[in-house]
Amino acid sequence: MKSVIWENSTLKLLNQTKLPLRIEYVNCKTHKEVAGCIKNMIVRGAPAIGVAAAYGMVLAAKEFLEASNKNFMDKLYNAGELLKSTRPTAVNLFWAVDKMYKAAKDNEEASTMDIALILEKAAIDIHEEDIALNKSIGAHGVKVVPVGAVIMTHCNAGALATAGYGTALGVIRTAFEKGILEKVFACETRPLLQGARLTTWELHQDKIPVTLITDSMAGYIMSQGQIDMVIVGADRIAKNGDAANKIGTYSLAVLANYHNIPFFVAAPYSTIDMDMASGDEIIIEERHCNEIRHIQDVEVVPEDIHTYNPAFDVTPNKLITGIITDRGILAAPYEKEIDRLFSKK
């Protein structure tokens, strides 16, 4: 199942708010429609958001073809700022928009039609690169997976969160293909249940053995000696290796550390933010209170109950055993390793 499809100048996004009970796509023909889909989590997962935003820039360019070149570039910049305003934590969004705007800026003397064609090719390249990066993450990550591994994961870092294959689930898929994976424990991931609705569905579709647990069961299962390793994705990794991921990841890392269980983060190079020295600088998105007050459309607590709904938390680098990237596995000291990673051509 593809999360992002580009076809006939239309961006088709798999509506992940409806999964797994309904499979439907939302057709986007304007950059504002793409922005709405990102904000409302119709498309989610840092890499998938980045790919969608890249196509959003293509749609913006096609909307502004009749503008003068200067006006075209101004409108394109504003479209990019709108896309970037939708989700503040996922760095792939900013990376993709900035990359697309630079491609336009580098060719601003060309006709608006030519710029739009250049941007379309750039977005397709980002899309195809993401799939290749995920498979490379899987190839590197499987090297640290023991034979007969039982792996715990949190939220969804699979094909649905990327252009295809997945980051954390990319490692899990590769381990399954090589016959060394026994099974996966997937945390449900409150409040929107991405683990329950998306991760278990993905793995079940691929016939990968998966057991769903509530988030609060993780420590008990670790204490029973059932887990060999934890692998999660990331929405932003600071230069020192601190990693922001779906809320609940930090708790899982603390539990893994206490039980001496390896804790890995899997992400492509585009998730590493070289402009952020540490996780203290990462902006944590706070989402609407109804995501806690409701499960799907069913109210479970009264409206006058106060809520706090941060969408992400930050796991400090000292709790991370290794960061699995498309260019290899990084180990502490992470800042030195990340500098080495980015020095590669």
Nearest-angstrom CA–CA distance, 37 and 22: 17
Q: Which helix (H) or strand (E) holds 63?
A: helix 46-63
Is 320 in contact with 241 (CB distance < 8 Å)?
A: yes
CA gap 81, 107 in Å, rounded: 20
Cβ within 8 Å of residue 10, ≥6 positions away: 27, 28, 29
Tell me the residue ranges of DSSP E strands in 8-146. Answer: 10-14, 25-28
Return the active site residues. Answer: 235
Residue in the block written with tokens 């890249």: 54
Helix (H) or strand (E) holding 151: strand 149-153
Per DSSP, the three-state class of 60 is: helix
Under DSSP, the state recorded for 310 is B
d(CA 46, CA 282): 14
Question: Going by DSSP bridges, is the β-strand pair 322-325/263-266 parallel, antiparallel, or unpaired?
Answer: parallel
Burial label, 84 (beta-carbon count in 10 A; 0-12, 13-18, 19+):
middle
* CB neighbour burial string for 129-148, b if at least 16 within 10 angstroms, e if fewer: bbbebbbbbbebbbebbeee
